[in-house]
Amino acid sequence: MNTHQEIRSTSGPRWSIAVLAVALLLSVLLGWLLRRPAATAEPSGERPAADRATSDAVARVDAFRVRRAGLSLRAEATGYLEPWKKVEVRSEASGRVVARQVEEGGRVGAGDLLVRLDDRDRVLELAEARAEWLRIQAGWALDFGRNDEPRAAAASSPLPAGGEEELRRAERLLREGVISRQELDETRRRLEAARILSGEQRGEIRAASTGLAQAEQKVERARLALERTRILAPFAGRIADLAVESGQHVTPGDPLLTLMQDDRLKVDVGVLEADIVRVREGGPARVRIPSADGLELQGTVYTVNPKVEPGTGTGRVTVAIPNPRGLLLAGLFATVELEVGRLADRLLVPAAALLERQGRTLVFRIENGRALWTWVKTGARSGDLVEIVEGLSEGDVIAIGGHFALAHEAPVEAVLTAAVPGAAAKGARP
């Protein structure tokens, strides 16, 4: 019993001393770490030691050789593709549809038949109108032959000399307030009566009095009603929004279909007032269609609306886009970049090269197989291009891909690309 008690009494202090020693060592280590300078507290222009390469592993990076070129400044806006011309074709007559010659998506030429209505009633009405016209014309011809010499010529009064001048003088006196409207009308009626009595309008008067003119008008109306049973394409285009079927009864004003001219498209975009004053008709425009795998097309500024909406501070710009094969569809969302200025001979790099460290901008310049942390000062930006004002020289090789996790002086294998991005971004300004 005494032996065990002695062992317990001596082992307790030893464990306590060991624990105290470990705690003391940990506190010393923690104090040293807290006193160690932070990597982000390096002076301007210095690279922190912690960011330096500590491994000989070679990283493969995409690289770009800095060059000088012109920089196109652009404004960006969004809109939706629209057909160059679009009309909703409606019925101008009542009747039953006996033929629909088109389907949605089909193409038609100008004047092609789209829809035909039952025209039997109109055919009969035209035939009746022609028969009446022929009867009246025959009577008019016989009467004209018997009365070829104007019977009223002797009794008629010739058109007063200077009648037109008298009428113009009366109109001038009315404007000056010398005569009244009633006096002008009396002068006009007197001159018209004199013209009729002179025999100048003898043929027109005889045709009206015999009913020939009315018969001709009736024939023309019947012909027009018959034509309206055949709905033709007003221009070449593509069919959309069919709203009629064979056998359906339609009335004037009923929608039948939509016809779109889509061999070229347009997109209306709202451009900020600070940019629209620099947009010119005929200027270049880059149009990107996200839904078509980011397809990019070269368009042209067609019109610039000479008015800015006060509520939004934007003005409307219409951009024309070629669509010769009809692959683009109306209604697709599009982003449009418009040129609003151009800077000549600038040192340019891709925006992907730029990184932020310690609140400043840098790039990795590649020299002798090493990636060197290099501060830069940027200027104008336009899409994927950035102007470099300080920090680089023409011909320098910089990393533009695979460089985000690089350390200063890391060994790299550079793969040069010759592509110069040309996209542009919103609000680019020198």
Cα 240 to Cα 247: distance, rounded to the nearest angstrom:
20
As a whole number of angstroms, the distance between CA 77 and CA 146 comes to: 78
Model confidence at 35: pLDDT above 90: no
Half-sphere exposure (Cβ direction) of 34: Cα atoms closer than 13 Å: 6
Nearest to 413 by CA among 364, 351, 372, 366: 366
Q: What is the pLDDT of residue 7?
A: 39
Is the pLDDT reported for residue 118 higher than 80?
yes
Contacts of residue 79, defined as CB under 8 A and 6 or more positions apart, other chains included, come to 267, 268, 269, 270, 333, 334, 336
- Alpha-carbon span 239 to 233, nearest angstrom: 10
How far is the C-alpha of 267 from the C-alpha of 286, rounded, in Å? Answer: 12
Spatial distance between the Cα atoms of 410 and 93, rounded to a whole number of angstroms? 81
pLDDT digits 0-9 by tens, 250-268: 999 999 999 999 999 999 9
How far is Cα 385 from Cα 381, in angstroms, rounded to an integer? 6
DSSP-derived secondary structure letter, 201: T
Q: Residue 94: name the closest of 115, 118, 114 by CA.
A: 118
Confidence band (pLDDT; 50, 70, 90) for 157?
A: very low
**Segment among 42-46, 90-94, 120-124 with least mean pLDDT:** 42-46
Q: What is the pLDDT of residue 72?
A: 76
Residues 6+ apart with CB under 8 A from 285: 298, 299, 300, 301, 319, 336, 337, 338, 339
As a whole number, the mean pLDDT across the chain is 80
Q: How many helices (H) and strands (E) does the chain have?
A: 7, 20
Return all residues near 192 (Cβ < 8 A) that are at least 6 apart: none
Res 210: pLDDT: 64
* Whole-number pLDDT of residue 405: 84
pLDDT in the model for residue 116: 96
Residue 401's pLDDT band, with cuts at 50, 70 and 90, is confident
Pure H helices in 52-162: 120-146
Q: Residue 3 — pLDDT band, cuts 50, 70, 90?
A: very low
How confident is the model at residue 164, as a pLDDT?
79
Q: What is the mean pLDDT of residues 203-218?
A: 71
User: In this predicted structure, which of 43-52, 86-95, 309-318 has the lowest mean pLDDT?
Assistant: 43-52
| pLDDT at residue number 36 | 46
Per-residue confidence at 50, pLDDT binned at 50, 70, 90? very low
Query: Which has more pLDDT, 21 or 377?
Result: 377
Residue 142 has what pLDDT? Answer: 65
For residue 290, name the pLDDT band (cuts at 50, 70, 90).
very high
Residue 327 has pLDDT above 90, yes or no: no
Tell me, what's the pLDDT at 184? 84
Res. 330: pLDDT tops 50: yes
pLDDT band at 287 (very low <50, low <70, confident <90, very high): very high
How far apart are alpha carbons 45 and 303 in whole angstroms?
50
The mean pLDDT value for 195-217 works out to 67
pLDDT at 137 over 80: no
pLDDT at 10: 45
Beta strands in 21-66 (DSSP E): 59-65
Residue 396: pLDDT over 80: yes
Lowest model confidence (mean pLDDT) among 78-87, 198-207, 372-381: 198-207
CA 347 to CA 71: how far, in whole Å?
9
Nearest to 64 by CA among 423, 429, 403, 408: 403
Residue 341 has a pLDDT of: 78
pTM over 0.85: no
Q: Work out the average pLDDT over 407-417.
A: 87
Q: Pick the more confident residue, 27 or 94.
A: 94
Of the two residues 43 and 247, the one the predictor is more confident about is 247
> How many percent of the chain have pLDDT more than 70?
74
Q: Count CB atoms within 10 A of the CB of residue 418.
A: 7
pLDDT digits (tens, 9 = 90+) for 175-201: 888 889 888 888 877 777 676 666 565
Which two tokens mark 97? 């549809």
Question: 5-14, 162-171, 319-328: lowest mean pLDDT where?
Answer: 5-14
